[in-house]
Amino acid sequence: MNFIDRRTFLGRSGVLAGSAALGNLALEARALGGAFTGKMKKAVKFHMVLEDKMSVLDKFKMLHDLGFDGTEIRSREIKEISDKGIYSRKEIEVAISKTGLPVHGVVNSSDPDLTTAIELSGALGGTSILTVCRYDRKLSLRENWERDQATIRKGIPAAEKHGVKILVENVWASYLISAFDVERFLDEIDSPWVGSYFDVGNNVRWGVAEHWVKHLGKRIVKLDIKEYDIGKQRNEGLGAGFKVPLGEGSIDWAAVRAQLGAIGFEGWATAEIPGGGRERLAEIAERMDRVLDIA
């Protein structure tokens, strides 16, 4: 919650009598919110909404009702972009308009066509595209590095035109696995339209999340939120590390929040974990509130 010192809290408690009064004080404290209330916006990837019988509009309404501030959609899910698309751009636009729930960005993964994704994000009112740098083992490390930088540089004119940032996510590709690597990769591109999409959970295999936040600093524009458990990784395999509820793994969320505060982070935090229906999404919203201190 926002800062309420102990003396003020106890003073109010002494004046107020009875359980009803104390209940009112608790409601007041909750209303003030957490340290990142108003600074961090809570979202989920749209493909996490697993309600096949619901229309796009109803899915947007549900996310809004559950307290999410927005969502993020994969470019390949849009019919106008991909032959395997699920939704039309029009129905997404209508849902945004009728609910006021924004699509804050587009996930383009490793698709080298950044311009199309940028144009889509801009048209939907988004501010970013998420891209990942895949490691092609047939190429040298230097060739991978230069190829991916060239792909990103090619997209910068469109990014500037549409006001959409190109954000590089740290993934399990045996590539850009050090904060120093990500720093150098981005700084060599040297564009205000290119930054980091920091995935807190993906980081744990390679390092300590709060250390990455401190090192990358203002390069971090948006966050992917997931959990990871080192014990499960050791005992059950690498992928098993993700199979733990948000807030119950190895990530020191208090330390992550402290470093996010230190770098002045404000922006989108999007869950990227197994989704479900209303009940599951409500649980995700509640867990995000806790680990991010936004309620």
**pLDDT (tens digit per residue) in 66-85:** 999 999 999 999 999 999 99
39 conformational bin, left if phi > 0, alpha if psi -120 to 50, beta if neither: alpha
Residues 127 and 20 reside in one and the same domain? no
Which residue has 């190829």 as its token pair?
A: 147
Q: What global pTM score does this model have? A: 0.88
Query: Residue 254's domain spans which residues?
Result: 35-292
Residues 275 and 214 reside in one and the same domain? yes
- Mean pLDDT, residues 124-133 taken together: 98
Residues 51 and 196 reside in one and the same domain? yes
Q: What is the pLDDT of residue 206?
A: 86
Pairing of strands 165-169, 194-199: parallel
Q: How confident is the model at residue 32 (pLDDT cuts 50, 70, 90)?
A: low
78/211 Cα distance (integer angstroms): 36
Residues 17 and 154 reside in one and the same domain? no
> Which of 116, 94, 115, 112 is CA-nearest to residue 103?
94
Which stretches of the chain are DSSP H helices?
Answer: 6-15, 18-32, 56-65, 89-99, 114-123, 141-162, 179-189, 209-216, 230-236, 253-262, 278-292
| Max Cα–Cα distance, the chain, nearest Å | 73
Asked if residue 294 lies in contact with residue 34, where contact means CB atoms within 8 angstroms, the answer is: yes
Residues 42 and 71 reside in one and the same domain? yes
Q: What is the pLDDT of residue 295?
A: 77
Residues 4 and 119 reside in one and the same domain? no
Vertex 11, ends 6 and 17: CA angle to 5°? 125
Number of domains, the chain: 2
Residues 13 and 91 reside in one and the same domain? no
Residues 106 and 12 reside in one and the same domain? no
Residues 56 and 25 reside in one and the same domain? no
Residues 229 and 112 reside in one and the same domain? yes
The DSSP bridge partners found for residue 220 are 196
Query: Helices 141-162 and 114-123 sit at what angle, rounded to 10 degrees?
Result: 30
Distance linking the first and last C-alpha atoms of the chain: 7
Q: What is the pLDDT of residue 151?
A: 98
Residues 15 and 146 reside in one and the same domain? no
> Could you report the per-residue pLDDT of 85-128, keeping only the tens digit for each?
999 999 999 999 999 999 999 999 999 999 999 999 999 999 99
Residues 25 and 47 reside in one and the same domain? no
Q: What is the pLDDT of residue 2?
A: 39
Check pLDDT > 60 for residue 19: no
Domain holding 202: CATH number? Answer: 3.20.20.150
